Structure 1
Amino acid sequence: MSNGPLPNRVDPRKLAERGVRISGEAGVKSLPNLCQSLVDKESVIDVDLQFSVDEQRIRTVTGSASGRLFMTCQRCLEPVEVAVAAEFNLGIAASEEAAKQLPRSYDPLIVEAEEIELLPVIEEEVILSLPFDAYHDDCSIKTSFGKSEAAVEETEKPNPFSVLAQLKADNK
């Protein structure tokens, strides 16, 4: 078991054969594609990965990655804290053809060379767990007139068909 900074490169097949567990933190700064969706680049992701071989002799990577990240609120455009939790259930495959043979319960991790970079794998799973649109639960947006959206909805709006109602009443 490893605990601390995550290794940059690993050989997942060898780790699976040995039943190695890797735990550590990944700084968001080292995940450039994830950074594009975030406001704060100082956050960290806690990662726990278990490499193993299942009963069908498939090498697997299971585990989780979680953390608290800051995205832009889609209502007020201010930072909002978002909890992310990604679950890993990867089956290691040597090629696209081998990946097609994996059971549906596994997402394929194609490893053509001996080693892979670990952080991009984690980054992809975390990106998939991000909410589509982040917003504060108690966010009140300001309209161009300076009133909150809730206040605008509460004001009485004139009925555009009230003129027709008067015409109908006049015809009776």
Structure 2
Amino acid sequence: MKTRAFVPEKLDVAALAHDGASLAGEWPAVSLERLADSAAPEAPASGWPALQWRLAGEIRQPKGGKPQVWLHLTASGQVALTCQRCLKPVHEDLDIDRWIRFVDTEAEAAALDVDSDDDVLALPRHLDARELIEDELLLALPLVPRHEVCPEPLPQATEDEAPEVEERPNPFAKLAALKRRDS
């Protein structure tokens, strides 16, 4: 029996699932351009450790239904983002473990995705697994990266540096004066 060679950039998901095969590897973080763009300026993606990934295909046969194509995606890596408190690099560990179900059409995927806890996608002829993995890593990034405790104390404005706030009249003061005058 001849085994198929699977290429992550042009992956036949249906064949991977029917063979019950898996594919694994690692990529330098700098090769995932959109992820590398999120890097802290002081800690570029070229200095990050390689990102590990694994894809495993599976066919599931539900009772009374047609066979389903599933893809199990796992990926992990470490990125350096800018802390939103101190503006220094903060290292974040990313770990992804997702099951993705593939269906025949976009309409079917949209209908099933609403009710499913798992991701549902339309089955493409060839899938760019690198792009899919990068998408999942981007979704795993924290919305507001920050240290638990910043390495340096945050800068505090002293009284000499504090901007002067001019006293503005209360906009309701005139209304209060009118009310007092009427009563």
Q: Which residue of 2 aligns with 1:55?
A: 61
Normalising by structure 1, we get a TM-score of 0.73
Q: Does 1:41 align with 2:45?
A: yes
Sequence identity of aligned pairs in percent? 25
Aligned partner of 2:134 among 123, 135, 159: 123
Aligned 8 A contact 1:52 1:61 in 2? yes
Aligned 8 A contact 1:26 1:119 in 2? no
Question: Could you list the runs of 5+ residues in structure 2 that have no partner in the other structure?
Answer: 1-6, 159-183
- CA deviations 1:85-104 (Å, max 9, x no partner) are 11221011232122124661
Aligned 8 A contact 2:112 2:120 in 1? no
| Stretch deviating more after TM superposition (116-125 or 36-45) | 36-45
Instruction: Note the C-alpha offset of 1:37.
Output: 1.7
1:28 is aligned with what amino acid? A
2:155 is aligned with what amino acid? K
Question: Could you list the runs of 5+ residues in structure 1 that have no partner in the other structure?
Answer: 1-5, 146-172
RMSD: 2.0
Aligned partner of 2:122 among 99, 106, 110: 110
Q: Which residue of 2 aligns with 1:88?
A: 98
Aligned partner of 1:143 among 147, 156, 164: 156
Instruction: Note the C-alpha offset of 1:34.
Output: 1.6
Aligned residues: 140
Question: 1:94 and 1:123 mapped to 2: Cα distance?
Answer: 23
Normalising by structure 2, we get a TM-score of 0.69
Instruction: Note the C-alpha offset of 1:46.
Output: 0.8
